[in-house]
A and B are shown apart, each in its own frame.
Chain A
Amino acid sequence: MRPILLKGHKGPLTCVKYNKDGDLLFTTCRRGGVNLWYSDDGERIGTYNNHNGAVMYVDVNFACTRLATASMDATARIWDVETGKVLREFKTQAGNRCASFATGDKRLAVLTDPWGDQPCCIQIFDTESGDSPVMRIPMDVGVAKATRALWGPLNKKILVSNEAGGILSYEAATGECLIERCDFEQEIPDFTYSQDMMTFIVASKDHTAMLYDTNTLEPIRKYVSDRPINSAAISPLMDHVVIGGGQDASAVTTTAGRSGRFQALFYHKIFENEIGSVQGHFGPINSLAFNPDGRSFTSGGEDGYVRVHHFDPEYFSLE
């Protein structure tokens, strides 16, 4: 398996995401900038320039016409995928960590960092009109900072992960917190849905990742590794999950390069055992995504590289 190295960012990657059809790949960078690539050969199609700060998250709608970005420049934007024009710009009071399209694209949920004495807040915007949010769901004061806020199936819930290792479920209609659970000892940097959104996988700095049932929010499986985990993804094709991370960026230079543990690790989704690893990054992996056809996956690292891996035929004969 020979990866394709995408060198288009000047700084650490924050998010990589495929569109629904799996032919396009969006990547975001902490130094600002969003890139669009052909996922098959890694050719760059274009960039979405306008943000004045780190872009933390990117979401693409079902039809692949609209792109939502969350940025630390205190805005969230909706772009036209094809032309790269900014269609909407939502100004928020502080930096944004996450932006997520609701099913049907009518709503956009933006997760805003705490500012002043205001806590983290999920702001729900109308994608068509109005500059102020149609709804705000503030987190409780004093609760750890939220890291992701993603719509659940049928727009009924919004799932939130936080820096204390907690997963919370908010009712989207009322803004009420329905379920709160804390299965991790440390921060959850990222979680991603399976393709049908019926399960999701949570990555944690406490060296573990867990698979959850979206509906009941009960953990199903646990994957234990030997490194802090920054991101995880569920294969749509095989019974596999991929998790990645590595020694914290601030400690990387203190030890031998090989011991940083920057490989992407494959685990069997059901049996929880490690089945393989893919190395290449020389900094921690920040984001992972499977192509919706399950035949390739992409990792974005702190080292500024995006690596697109197309699996060898042998991979598909694995159990």
Chain B
Amino acid sequence: MAGDNRDEYDDDDVPFTKAELDLSMDNVIVVDNLPVVPPEKVEKLAGILLKLYSKIGAIVEDGDYNGLHMPMDDEKGMSKGFAFIEFVDKKSAVMAVEQTDGHKLDKNHVFSVCRFPEFHRIVNVPDQYEAPQPPQYKERGNLREWLLDPKARDQYVIRYTDESEIYWNDTVDVKESDRLVFSRKKWTDTGHQWSPHGTYVVTFHRPGLRLWGGQNFEAAGRFMHNNVKLVDFSPCETYLVTVTWADRASDKEEENAIIIWDVRTGEKKRGFKNDGAKDKPVEPFKWSHDGKYFAKIADESIQVYSTEDFKLLDKKSFKLPGVKEFHWSPSQNIMAAFVPGSGDGQTPARVVPSRKELRQKNLFSVSDIQMHWHPDGTYLCVKVDRQKSKKTTTYSFELFRIKERDIPIEVLEIKDSVVAFAWEPKGHRFCLVHGEQPRPDISFYTMLKEGKAAVSLLKTLEKKPVNELFWSPMGHHIVLAGLKNLNGMLNFYNVDEMESMNEDEHFLCTDLVWDPTGRYVCTYVSAFRQPMENGYTIWNFAGRPQLRTAKDKFFQFLWRPRPPSLLTAKQEKEIRKQLAEYSQRYTEEDRKAKELAETAHLREREAKRKTFEEGEAIRKQLYMQWQEERRELRGCLTDDEDLYEFVEETFEEVLEVKEERI
């Protein structure tokens, strides 16, 4: 037995691997445009090169052989004017190319350096230029077809287990199969994302991502970026940014951590390297509202790039030593930046592209800062946390009126800790959650007091189980939600009337999303955060549940965004005026649709009942057929046919008749 065991060890424990010769020559570079020198000067030149390159990385040295080879032209007795340098590793080779390509040895000799594998490619370029065939024009169809829906319904995508499904949101009782627009198993590896105007839906795959659009969600673009982690669109859907980073520090680094693509042509516009640690998330770019600029923080400055040429705007970055955070205005090319100082901080607002500082405010003894732009860009709120002593922190809000002359600032002091802050979209109010968890207070403020610019408190709701705020994208309504550890308490609140429209609960709900029109809200329990109760509920703005769906392993719910309205403010006002008329029309339509759905529903039930009763009749007949046999088996007549109808019979029998004379 012992021998057997050893045999087994021999087989199993020694892995058989074949050593492979590294023939890639990734670590070799070619240095061209060297001076042509006679043999006696070769050594001197080699010395210069070695000195230059050994600073960058270790050059192979193995006895007589060193990594530098300068070929000689035997006929002329001179050097050929180029050299090969072999580094120990690939990384040094890459760095050497980066650092010394274009290095000036003297006036006439500018180095042209490339890596050896690339040299091959360059040599193989044919001398004659051949124009590539222009690709066949493909009709893309109407990518905004969904907006033409006669009922003006919205769409949403859901993902559960490995299924992806896109539905119409229809509140009139319509069957799931009728609302389904598109479904596909294993459509994406990790998740979905809509483009900002809703034209495309993104699917993620290991080698890159794909866009899908049009009526039947045909493929509308493919962007190869290995192991892509994040995707970001420019606000006008013109450009697409893909971001990746290595999963582990030991992984091979992508050469382009960030790539900017043209959405329509699929052309790669520019790649960016990863500046930080290679296994950390790359800081993505922030886009200006019109998609003309994109910026990020790097080296004590804000680097702003223009989409005209994808280069640094005016070839220089905004120097802001110590800058920690910045945000673009959602409506102007203005950005707000926060520069913490030693013990104090300042929040200047700066203008692009004129680089002028619009307004700056110094704040002292700041521990943290958060900036919130109003969605219309009219206001900027800066939440300032100040550490007064070890235990007490005070909170205040610096409110900037961006659209007014000189940008006046107002300060609002809040005594308790602030849990959440949210601006009212298309309005002038904001909402605050402050106080002790888990039942903090909620306050509504307005930026306009009786039409004049002054911050004033509207109302405070005391002790509510709320930790997150969700304004309707149209303003006026807000959902005060207690998600996650508050088990999904929802309060649908009308801010105009300052009254709660409905309070309800979606047990364990983890996320809440408003549809783009502000008519419906979806709450869902995502399997990412919660293993039980997965599914989603759609409510109307007033908090009446419209649809409840439970799905195991439910991950994602995303409303399809809409492009900005083409109506002018005036036209919108006009419509608002005639709202009563419209609402009458739509109510009528809804009523009809509901009636139709109900009759369909009834008909379906009728059919179900009919088929069931047919089967039931057969069974009943069989049951009666078996009666005789059953009674025989039981040996008694107490059968249960009478279970179906109880017949009560009274028997009267005259037993005796007696006549008595009284």
Contacts and interface: CB of A to CB of B under 8 A. Distances in A.
B633 A103 contact: yes
A269 B615 CA distance: 13
A255 B508 CA distance: 11
A215 B619 contact: yes
Contact of B508 (A196, A256, A271): A256
A259 B633 contact: no
B609 A270 contact: yes
A103 B640 contact: no
27 contacts: A102-B633, A103-B630, A104-B633, A153-B630, A154-B626, A154-B630, A155-B633, A195-B640, A199-B619, A213-B615, A213-B619, A215-B622, A226-B552, A255-B531, A255-B532, A256-B487, A256-B508, A258-B507, A259-B507, A259-B533, A269-B612, A270-B608, A270-B609, A270-B612, A271-B605, A271-B608, A272-B608
B451 interface: no
B504 to A, nearest CB: 15
Given A154-B629, A226-B550, A236-B643, A62 B508 contact: no
Interface string B617-642: 00110110010011001111000100
Contacts of B605: 271
Interface string A85-123: 000000000000000001110000000000000000000
Interface of B: 487, 507-508, 531-533, 550, 552, 605, 608-609, 612, 615, 619-620, 622-623, 626, 629-630, 633-636, 640, 643
Given A103-B633, A259-B508, A220 B622 contact: no
Given A215-B619, A270-B608, A256 B532 contact: yes
A226 B620 CA distance: 33
A198 interface: yes
B349 to A, nearest CB: 46
Contacts of A258: 507
Nearest to A259: B532
A211 to B, nearest CB: 9
A268 to B, nearest CB: 9
Given A104-B635, A154-B633, A199-B619, A221 B612 contact: yes
Q: How large is the interface on A (under 10, 10 to 19, 20 to 34, 35 or more residues)?
A: 20 to 34
A8 B643 CA distance: 32
B409 to A, nearest CB: 46
Residue from the set A103, A154, A199 with the largest chain B CB neighbour count within 10 Å: A103
Q: Interface SS of chain A: helix, strand, loop or mixed?
A: loop
Interface string A219-236: 011000010000000001
| 8 nearest A-B pairs in the assembled complex, by CB-CB distance | A104-B633, A259-B532, A198-B619, A270-B612, A103-B633, A226-B550, A255-B532, A259-B533
A220 B634 CA distance: 29
Contacts of B623: 196, 198
Interface in A243-279: 247, 255-256, 258-259, 269-272
A104 B636 CA distance: 9
Contacts of A154: 626, 629-630, 633
A140 to B, nearest CB: 30
B622 A198 contact: yes
Interface string A45-82: 00000000000000000110000000000000000000
Given A154-B626, A259-B508, A195 B643 contact: yes
B604 to A, nearest CB: 9
Contacts of A104: 633-635
Contacts of A198: 619-620, 622-623
A270 B633 CA distance: 32
B634 A62 contact: yes
A220 B614 CA distance: 11
Contacts of B487: 256
Contacts of A236: 643
A252 to B, nearest CB: 11
A153 B620 CA distance: 13
A26 B296 CA distance: 74
Contacts of B636: 63
Contacts of B552: 226
A255 B533 CA distance: 10
Contacts of A269: 612
A103 B627 CA distance: 12
Nearest to A237: B643
A229 to B, nearest CB: 15
Nearest to B487: A256
Interface in A183-228: 195-196, 198-199, 213, 215, 220-221, 226
Contacts of A220: 612, 615
A15 B448 CA distance: 69
Contacts of A255: 531-532
A259 B622 CA distance: 44
Contacts of B622: 198, 215
